Amino acid sequence: MKIVRFGDSALLVNFEQRINEAINNQVLSLYHQLQKVKEVTFLIPAYCSLTVGFSAQTSFSAIAEQIEKLTHKNQSTDHNLNTRLIEIPVCYDAPYALDMGEVIQKTGRSQQEIIKAHSETTYKVYMLGFVAGFAYLGSLPKQLFCPRKTEPRKEVLAGSVGLAGLQTGIYPANAPGGWQIIGRTPLPTFNPKADNPTLFKAGDRVKFKSISSSEFKEIEKQVSSNTFNLEEYYG
């Protein structure tokens, strides 16, 4: 672990620089521990690092010392990260699966095999980034490895489910992007008007459930008419 300055009132805690669940668990454990430190003003967890903001009344050395102590304590303590399992309905049919044909070609798998492998895996939310509410989910089964598109789209619709390398994710809003789109969910995953605007938090577990086009339209209709219960997601 290495702690470096990150501006006048922030620092960066770098763990081993590779994508690994055990390393990410160290990041999240420290993240939860530092939420209790009053001098900390903000925290941004990533795959293998944690950005820590601190108040002007404290110092880099004081926060760094606390982090060193917490990290040493974490090495001998099994912390409960209080993860949630969130199920996301996804329609993998046309017109929602824009790049299914390309993914079939690049992976050598049939559409049924791709859907089965994608929906049977439980993913971890490693971090949020790119756009507000976008969760990087991993890891994909190796048979679904697929590179990003060579030419990104200018706009990908909110709810689109994509693949990139060994990651998968859901676009929380209309945005440009180059991930391979294999389906779409009718559930909104970002609500800027809510107290907790993002559906996902780092450390959550996510599983996808394959639904038909008719089921997609029915859920979409309920969401549009505010009759679909989103309380469990947005609180």
Same domain? For 62 and 96 the reply is no
Count of domains forming the chain: 2
Same domain? For 122 and 179 the reply is yes
Model confidence pLDDT, tens digit, residues 15-39: 999 888 999 999 999 999 999 999 9
Same domain? For 121 and 15 the reply is no
Whole-number Å distance between alpha carbons of 202 and 226: 27
Same domain? For 177 and 222 the reply is yes
Residue 119 lies in a domain: yes
Using the 3D structure, point to which of 42, 74, 106 is the last residue of a domain.
74
Classify residue 41 by burial, with Cβ atoms within 10 Å: 0-12, 13-18, 19+: middle
Residue 80 lies in a domain: no
Model confidence pLDDT, tens digit, residues 69-82: 888 776 544 455 66
- Is residue 168 helix, strand or coil? strand
What is the per-residue pLDDT for 95?
95
Residue 235, both tokens = 């609180």
What is the per-residue pLDDT for 229?
76
Whether the per-residue pLDDT at 128 is higher than 90: the answer is yes
User: Where residue 59 sits, what CATH number does that domain have?
Assistant: 3.30.1360.40
Percent of the chain predicted with pLDDT > 70:
93
Q: Where are the beta strands (DSSP E) in 70-222?
A: 85-90, 122-128, 135-138, 153-156, 160-164, 167-170, 175-177, 180-184, 205-210
Model confidence pLDDT, tens digit, residues 83-126: 789 999 999 999 999 999 999 999 999 999 999 999 999 999 99
Same domain? For 152 and 196 the reply is yes
The pLDDT-based confidence of 228 (bands split at 50, 70, 90) is confident
Range of the domain at 155: 85-234
Residue 217 lies in a domain: yes
Same domain? For 135 and 99 the reply is yes
Percent of the chain predicted with pLDDT > 90:
80
Residue 79 lies in a domain: no
Same domain? For 89 and 165 the reply is yes
Same domain? For 59 and 126 the reply is no
Using the 3D structure, point to which of 74, 104, 124 is the last residue of a domain.
74
**How many Å separate Cα 95 from the centre of its chain?**
24
Same domain? For 178 and 230 the reply is yes
User: Where residue 162 sits, what CATH number does that domain have?
Assistant: 2.40.100.10
Same domain? For 61 and 113 the reply is no
Same domain? For 6 and 93 the reply is no
What is the per-residue pLDDT for 76?
47
User: What is this structure's pTM?
Assistant: 0.87
Same domain? For 65 and 95 the reply is no
Whether the per-residue pLDDT at 222 is higher than 70: the answer is yes
